[in-house]
Each structure stands twice: as C-alpha cells, then as structure tokens.
Amino acid sequence: MAGDASDRWWEGAVLYQVYPRSFADSNGDGIGDLRGILEHLDHLAGADRSLGVDGVWLSPIYPSPQHDFGYDISDYTGVAAEFGTLDELDALIAGCHERGLRFLMDLVPCHTSIDHPWFVDARSSRDAEHRDWYVWADPPPDGSPPSNWESVFGGSAWEWDAASGQYYLHTFYPEQPNLNWRNPAVATAMGDVMRFWFERGVDGFRVDAIFAAVHDARLRDNPPVRRAHMIPGFGGDAGQDALWSMARPEVHDVIRHIRAVANEFPGRVLVGEAYLPVEELAGYLGHGRDDEFHLAFDFELLHSPWEHQHLTLAVERSEALHPPAVWPTYAIGNHDQARPASRWGAARERAAAFLLLTLRGVAVLYAGDEIGMENADPAILPDPPFDRAGRDGYRTPMQWTPTAVAGFTTGTPWLPVVDAQARNVLDQSADPDSLLSLYRRLIAARRASPALARGTHRSFFGVGTDVMAWMREAPGDRVLCLLNVGDQPSRCALPTARLGADGGEVVVATSARAGHVTLAEMTLDALEGVAIRIG
C-alpha cells in the first residue's frame, strides 16, 4: 500500500509493536506465530473494537538460533519455522494492508548470528571470502582482547576464535558477531536484503542498534565515563564511555546508504533505534535533509522518572531538537524495557497513555501496554532465564482472555502468563472505563483531530503544581492538553489572554470529564489528563 514519494503517512502515526513469540500462538506449541498475529488483527484495526493504529512493527521473525530471540539472524530473507512460512508472512502483509495497516519489519544490519553462512565461512579461515565481512583483530602480545570495549550485555566485546587465532567483535552477545560496514560488500548485501522485503510489500523497517554499525578503525580504548549517561541503554554498564566503540561519525554514512535504498521504494519508512541522548539522536534524522532516517526512537521520555521536571525536560529537549518538519518518535515500552505499569506504577498508566498519544510525535505502543500488563515477578520466570540479559519479564504472553493461558495458546506458553484474570483484552474491551478503552478513545481522538495528529507543539510553563500544559495546533484546529502528573489535585492558572479563549470542549480525557470547560476554573484531579478544543 506504499504511496508516492510525497506520502509522509508516518507523520504523527501510531505504530504497534508485536513481539511475535509472545503475541498469539495458532498451533499450540506455546510460541506465538504469524498465523496467530493474522487472526488477531481485529485488535489493531478494521473492526468495531480495534485500537485504530496506523501500522504494526514486528520484532524479528527470521531464521535464528534464538540466542537473542531473533536479533541473531542466520538468514535475512527467510522465516523461522516456529513462526511460520514465507507464504504466511505474505498473507499477514496482505491482511494488514486490507485493513489499511502499514507493515514494518525489523532490520538488524549491524550483526548476524554465529550460524549465518557468512560468519560460518568467515571463521573457517583467515583467507575466507567473508572473513572481512566481520571485525577481526589480533591480540596484543599478552593475548588479551584488542581493546577494553565492553559488550552491551556485559563482559568484553571481543571473543577469541582459537581456530583462526584472532578475536572478533560483538557489541551484544558473543553469538552476534558485528558486521564490518567498512567493507562495501556488506552494504551491498544489506541493500539487497531491504529490496527483497520492500518488493514483498513491506512498508518500512525499524532499524536495530544502528549506533553499533561502525567502530574506531584504530581500536582505541574507551575512556571511563565522566558523567552518567542520560540514556542508560540496557544492561552491561561497565562505567565506560563508548566513545570509540559506538555512535562513531561514520554511522551517518551507513544510515545514508540504508536511506538511499529505501528511497528506491516510495512511501516507505525507516525508524532508527539508538539509545542516545536526543542531541546525538536528532543528527540521525539528517536535520530534515531527508537523507538519513525518517524517524528515530527518542528514549528520554521512556527513561524519565515520573516527576514533573524530568518529564517536562524530556519533552522540551525533544521539541527543541526536532524542528517542525522532523517528527519525534516516542515509546513508553518495548521488549527491552520494564513495562510502564511497573516502571512508573499502575496508578500512572492512564496519564502515561495520555502523554504518549497527545504529544507531537509518532507514538509506538508495545503490545500488552494497552491493557497495563506488568513485569513478571522474577519468582515465576524460568531459571536459568531464556534471555541472559534479564528481559524475560517484559516479554510474557499477551493476555487476551481471563484464562490460565490467557487465550494466547492451547499448549504450554514459552513464558508464564502474569495475571490474565486481572488484565485481559476481552474484559477490558467490554468496560468503557478500562485502560484499553482509554487507549481507543485517545487514538480515535487523535485520528479525528488535525491538531492532535499532525499539529505543532507549544508548551506553557508554570501553569500549576505538577501540571504539564501544551498546545497542539493545525489550521482550523487548536487543542490544549493539560496533564497533572502529580498525585494531588492541582489548580491551573491558564494564560487565557495568550490562549485567546476562556473555555472549550473536552476532546478526550483520562477521566469522565466531558463537555464544556471554563479555563479560569480548571482544577485537575491527581494524574488527570484533558485535551480541550479551544476556539
């Protein structure tokens, strides 16, 4: 369903992240699959009780030994048998498009699996055809690793390969050797992977861990960290500043290459993933020149403590560094991070939904967060864990029904179900006051309002204790958003003269508030969010 080059459908879009292993299992093996996703598309779009999102992004479904659950790919153009077949993937793409849903896949360009034929060949001998597709280095005379670089998951980023007598680089697990993007053959091969999927109708890619694409050619040691990073990444913080091992300037060349391939296919989108402060991240968007990513996740909001000044700073930094034609991309959860209902607390989940869906930006919603799923209690998780980095608790089965297996499978789920009796799609669908119903109302309001969907953003400060206030504005549509992030009621002092309005109509609220409101008399309840259309 891709359009022409001017089709910027993704501006202000709402995307939904599916973690395929955990979404819906159609064959009873306890592992989610493509047919399961197809059978549950009503939840996303095209039916009465859909969320109404614009697109879906699937975490990797490619063949993989699953050391990092699909982020270790052994065949970039296939489908893992446990998820289904290429035909089933085609059917899923078609099913999405019939409902007007865009379909995004995960591109993992910086590393393969150790089982990928390129790496199998590369490690077979120093003269192998693919040797230079990866990053190899000799040890110093004492045999230690070539540099002090740490892997994101902890320990050295170098793995000794005894057979060929060199180390290879792995930013993540040792089973994920880094590709060498200084070798043009790698760029060509990855471009062909993208074309393969674009030609099948894929509307875009979420691009994995792009900051790891290039390392310092001289392998200089990283210095100690001088100041805590605003973005902690995930795990393995060795007190090291990844100055020489990550986010090197050459990463921009890699992004430009990937973007040039995407530009061969009008209407497609690239969403970069990089755990970086927004001032570095914004550079990956090409400063609006349209030659790097269309979008890139800004994780500062996700990492922000739930405190007025921190949340405000996250939004203001993002707004300051994304000029009007460039769109921030916010997520409040994903398969690598603690669930928002656990991280910020269940009492705040409605306010968090309001924030995600009324700020200027692309909103990415992680499956399960719309029903307030919480992290699994570590006591119920398998030991040893499936994921050595400790992320199993954020990846438990989607809770569809109030049953022991949550309507996820007819077999034994690969990870335990957390609390399907308390939180599930079926019950929340029928309850107008549920979190799921709020998500639907917020997304519907956003679709119906040019200001909320694609309008500009302007903040107002000092409006009230713990109150965030911002205006979204598009031609003919002005919506004032007010959110009390505190746990006490808060009286607002709104600049009515500057707003040019005394009152307005509630468009959507986290509470039962509806109808006309008078701005001079606004008191927000604890954690209440209200969007008001003003004249």
CB of 336 to ligand NOJ, least distance (A): 5
CB 335 within 8 Å of CB 234:
no
CB of 209 to ligand NOJ, least distance (A): 4
519 touches ligand NOJ (CB under 6 A): no
CB of 496 to ligand NOJ, least distance (A): 45
Residue whose CB is less far from ligand NOJ, 103 or 173 = 173
CB 261 within 8 Å of CB 271:
no
CB of 508 to ligand NOJ, least distance (A): 31
Instruction: Determine the residue type at 198.
Output: F
* Tokens found for residue 32: 């989610």
Residue whose CB is less far from ligand NOJ, 369 or 473 = 369
* Tokens found for residue 16: 């939904």
- The closest residue (CB) to ligand NOJ is 71
- 447-486 residues in contact with ligand NOJ (CB under 6 A) are none
CB of 71 to ligand NOJ, least distance (A): 3
Residue whose CB is less far from ligand NOJ, 21 or 335 = 335
CA atoms 452, 205, 394, 337: torsion sign: negative
Residue bearing tokens 């953003």: 457
CB of 231 to ligand NOJ, least distance (A): 13
The phi, psi pair for 482, rounded to 5°, reads -125, 130
CA atoms 87, 88, 94, 98: torsion sign: positive
The phi, psi pair for 385, rounded to 5°, reads -70, 155
Name 295's bridge partners: 271
Work out which of 68, 369, 466, 528 binds ligand NOJ, going by CB under 6 A: 68
Give CA–CA dist 243/247, Å, rounded: 7
172 touches ligand NOJ (CB under 6 A): yes
Binding characters for ligand NOJ, 309-348, by CB under 6 A (x = yes): --------------------------xx------------
Give CA–CA dist 112/118, Å, rounded: 8
Binding characters for ligand NOJ, 221-240, by CB under 6 A (x = yes): --------------------
- Burial letters for 454-473: b for 16+ Cβ neighbours within 10 Å, e otherwise? bbebeebeebbebbbbbbbb
Alpha helices in 68-183 (DSSP H): 86-98, 117-122
Residue whose CB is less far from ligand NOJ, 208 or 298 = 208
208 touches ligand NOJ (CB under 6 A): yes
- 100-139 residues in contact with ligand NOJ (CB under 6 A) are 108
The phi, psi pair for 443, rounded to 5°, reads -70, -40
Give CA–CA dist 179/257, Å, rounded: 15
Residue whose CB is less far from ligand NOJ, 387 or 477 = 387
Instruction: Determine the residue type at 313.
Output: L
CB of 213 to ligand NOJ, least distance (A): 12
Residue 473 annotated as catalytic = no
Give CA–CA dist 434/428, Å, rounded: 5
The 10 Å Cβ neighbour count of residue 518 is: 10
Residue 88 annotated as catalytic = no
Residue whose CB is less far from ligand NOJ, 299 or 470 = 299
* Tokens found for residue 380: 């119920």
Count interface residues toward ligand NOJ (CB under 6 A). 8
Q: 162: part of which helix (H) or strand (E)?
A: none
Residue whose CB is less far from ligand NOJ, 348 or 391 = 391
CB of 206 to ligand NOJ, least distance (A): 9
Give CA–CA dist 281/258, Å, rounded: 16
247 touches ligand NOJ (CB under 6 A): no
CB of 320 to ligand NOJ, least distance (A): 26
Report helix, strand or coil for 529. strand
Residue whose CB is less far from ligand NOJ, 108 or 468 = 108
Q: Indicate which residue of 264, 431, 433, 521 is catalytic.
A: 264
CA distances, 138 to each of 167, 169, 217 (Å): 6, 11, 13
Whether the bond into 177 is cis, omega within 30 of 0: no
Residue whose CB is less far from ligand NOJ, 331 or 522 = 331
Q: Indicate which residue of 54, 150, 159, 208 is catalytic.
A: 208
Residue whose CB is less far from ligand NOJ, 152 or 530 = 152
209 touches ligand NOJ (CB under 6 A): yes
Work out which of 71, 83, 149, 197 binds ligand NOJ, going by CB under 6 A: 71
CB 293 within 8 Å of CB 284:
yes
CA distances, 70 to each of 79, 149, 332, 387, 449 (Å): 10, 24, 22, 11, 38
Give CA–CA dist 506/197, Å, rounded: 43
CB of 152 to ligand NOJ, least distance (A): 7
- 354-393 residues in contact with ligand NOJ (CB under 6 A) are none
The residue among 204, 238, 234, 208 whose CA lies nearest residue 223 is 238
Binding characters for ligand NOJ, 9-48, by CB under 6 A (x = yes): ----------------------------------------
The 10 Å Cβ neighbour count of residue 65 is: 15
Q: Which residues are catalytic?
A: 208, 264
Binding site for ligand NOJ (CB under 6 A): 68, 71, 108, 172, 208-209, 335-336
